[in-house]
Chain A
Amino acid sequence: MYQAVRRWFDPRELREVGETPDYRFSLANERTFLAWLRTGLALIAGGLAVAQFLPPMPVPHLREALAVALLLLGGTVAVRAVDHWARTERAIRLGHELPASRFPAVLALLIGLGAVLLVVAVLVQAARNP
């Protein structure tokens, strides 16, 4: 854990192993990281917006639970983004296979599941108070 964090900040780890690739590869890797970071920022902004702009829901604390889930997901996406960037950069320099990851699939499933649950909650509420 600590080693991984040190590796993100250690330029030697990412600048001196293996061979320097065509820098367009590094820039593409950096942009992929930035796209992930913006995904995380969007989730965090969603959580913050839910916490302060959504009116209280019929289920107690559902609003807070939703905000907490979005904030946790957003934070996870941001940390995973920098870890994946570092591991990809290393793989490019060493000529290894790019690191495979289940994370995008898990994230998509979680968000889809959350959306389905919210649709159910809205329908239940509409059925109760016609």
Chain B
Amino acid sequence: MSPEREGPGQVGSEREGSGRDAGLAGERTRLAWRRTVLAVGVVAVLTARLALSNGTVGALVAALAGLGWLGVLVATFPRFAGRRGDPGRALPVAALVTAGFAGLGLLLVLASVR
């Protein structure tokens, strides 16, 4: 799955070097991205469920929630799949889409009060 990860046979020889630790730091970051994208998916489903009780506009908001999750998935895929190097725009995109879900939720809750 991750070609840069070392096999168990190399553990002993690499113990003093930074090679093994480096692979684990990359792997932990990959896994953290996967957990985060999963959490964004859960929030998208909850937003869509809340939106769908609001008729046609609600269906549009639900579609927007789905698109938001897809956007995060696409923007963060290089991190998610564990390509090395520049995080690029993945971090601000993930954070701003998350804030966008909070905004959508606020609109839906406030619309239900009236």
Contacts and interface: CB of A to CB of B under 8 A. Distances in A.
A11 interface: yes
B61 interface: no
A82 B89 CA distance: 11
Interface residues of B, number: 42
A48 B43 contact: yes
B32 interface: yes
Contact of A68 (B18, B95, B106): B106
B94 interface: yes
B11 interface: no
Contact of A11 (B22, B33, B88, B99): B88
B46 interface: yes
Nearest to A61: B113
Interface in B5-31: 18, 21-22, 25-26, 28-29
Interface of B: 18, 21-22, 25-26, 28-29, 32-33, 35-36, 39-40, 42-43, 46-47, 49-50, 53, 79, 86-89, 91-92, 94-96, 98-99, 101-103, 105-106, 108-110, 112-113
Ranked 9 nearest A-B pairs via Cβ = A75-B102, A82-B95, A78-B98, A48-B46, A8-B92, A41-B39, A34-B32, A75-B99, A71-B105
Given A31-B32, A82-B96, 8 more contacts: A23-B22, A23-B25, A26-B87, A33-B95, A48-B46, A64-B112, A74-B102, A75-B99
